[in-house]
Amino acid sequence: MAKFIVEKAGPLHGEVVISGAKNAVLPILAATVLTDEICTIYDVPRLRDVDVMCRILRSLGKTVEEDYGNHTVIVSGSVNTSTIPYELVKKMRASFFVMGPLVAKTGAANIAQPGGCSIGSRPIDLHIKGLRKLGAKVVIEESLVDASAQQLTGDLVYLDFPSVGATENIMMAAALAKGTSIIENAAEEPEIVDLANFLNKMGAKIKGAGTDSIRIEGVESLHGTKHTVIPDRIETGTFMVAAAISRGNVLVRNCVSDHVRPVIAKLIECGASVSEEGDGIRVNAEGMHLKATSVKTMPYPGFPTDMQAPFMALLTTVEGTSTVNETVFENRFMHADELSRMGANIRVDGRTATVPGDKRPLTGAKVVSTDLRGGAALVLAGLVAEGTTEVGEIYHIERGYERFKEKLNQLGAKVIRVEDPQNDQ
C-alpha cells in the first residue's frame, strides 16, 4: 500500500494535459470481445482499472499488446472461454461490461458479481434485465451470474434508471442480436457516444447514442478498427477544481468543454473565471474570494456524481455555507468524515450535506481515501490545508487518475508518493 504526502503549496499555475477517459476506454476494451480482428485503441490512460480489463481480455483468450508509452492498446484474436476469473472480477466493477459482449459473441458468460468502490448500491439488475429482454437465460446462484443464449434477439428495453453501465452492456450485446433493439430511458453520457462510435466503426448500426432512446440494428459480425478515446471529463473537472481551490490560474488542455458544462457553471457561480482557449479551458481564481453555492448531482447532462467529492473539497474553502445533494448514489458522502478530520465540520443528513465555508481553515491530517473520487478530493484539500496531509489507500485514486501526482506537481503542488509499510498486505 502507498500514500500521498501533500504539503500546502500556494496557487497552482501552468498547463495540464488531460488523459483519455477511463469510463470510455473500459467498455471499449470490453467491446473488442465482439470481433476476432485487430482493434487498435489510442489515448489509453495507464491506470489500474485499464490493466485489470486487459488482464480480463487475456484470460478470455484475447491477445493484448499494451504500449503505454504511446498510450495505445492493440487487441486481437478470438475468445476461447466464457468464464472470467473471480480474482479479476473482484477488483473492478467494470469487469461486468464483458458479459453482454461474451453472450453475444460466444452464447455464454459466467461471471461473479463485480467489485469496485463502495459508494453505494450499484445493482446489476438492469444489466440482467436487458440481457433477458434480448433472449438470454440468466441464472444467479449466490454470487455467480451465468448467462446463455443460442441467439440474442432484438427487443425494446426500458431502463428504470438511466444506468450508464447497463446502457453500454445492452448496446454491445444488441450489436450482434438478430433484429432491432431499442433502449428507452438510456443514459446519455459522452462515454456512451464514444462506445457507439467505436462499435459503428466496427460495422455496428447504432443511432441515437447521447439521447434517451438508442436504436441498434443487429448485424451478423463486426470487424476490427482503430479508435481514439475521448478526453476524461472527470479528470478535466478535477483539475479545474484544483485551480479554483488553490486560487490559481490553470489551463486544462485536451478536453471537451461541452462535457463539463455543469462544472463550469458551478465554478462561475462560486466566482471563479472560466474561459475556453483552443482545445482547453482556463480556470482563474487568483486573488478571488469565492462564495458558496448549491450542488445537486444528476445523470448527464446534470452535475456528475463523480465530481461531487472534489467540488465538496472546494466548497469547504469558500465564503458562506453550501449544500450538496447526492441523488445518484446513496453512500457517496464517505469523504465528508475525512474532510471533517481536516477541520471542515461537514454535516450530513441522508443524501444532503451542509458544507460550512472558510471560517475555519483546513489543517493537515492523516486521512484515508474512501473511494476513487473521494481520494482525489482529499488530495485537493491537502493542497490548501495548513501543514501536512497524509492520504492513505491511494490505490483508489490510481484506479482512475493517470500520473495524478506528477500532473499536480508540474502545476506547483507539493505531493510525494511513499510506500506505507504499516499497511503492506
Residues annotated as part of the active site = 117
How far apart are alpha carbons 286 and 104 in whole angstroms?
53
CA 93 from chain centre, in angstroms, equals: 11
* Nearby residues of 314 by Cβ (< 8 Å), 6 or more positions away: 241, 244, 245, 270, 290, 380
Contact 409, 34 (CB under 8 A): no
Cβ atoms within 10 Å, residue 104? 25
CA 314 from chain centre, in angstroms, equals: 20
SS3 state of residue 86: helix
Cell numbers given for 379 = 488530495
Q: How far is CA 377 from CA 9, 248, 313, in A?
A: 16, 17, 6
SS3 state of residue 334: helix
Beta strand extents in 318-398 (DSSP E only): 322-325, 347-349, 352-355, 366-368, 388-392
* Nearby residues of 55 by Cβ (< 8 Å), 6 or more positions away: 88
270-307 burial, b for 16+ CB within 10 Å, e for fewer? bbbebeeeeebbbbbbeeeebebbebebebbeebbbbb
Return the HEC string of 381-403: HHHHCECEEEEECCHHHHCCCCC
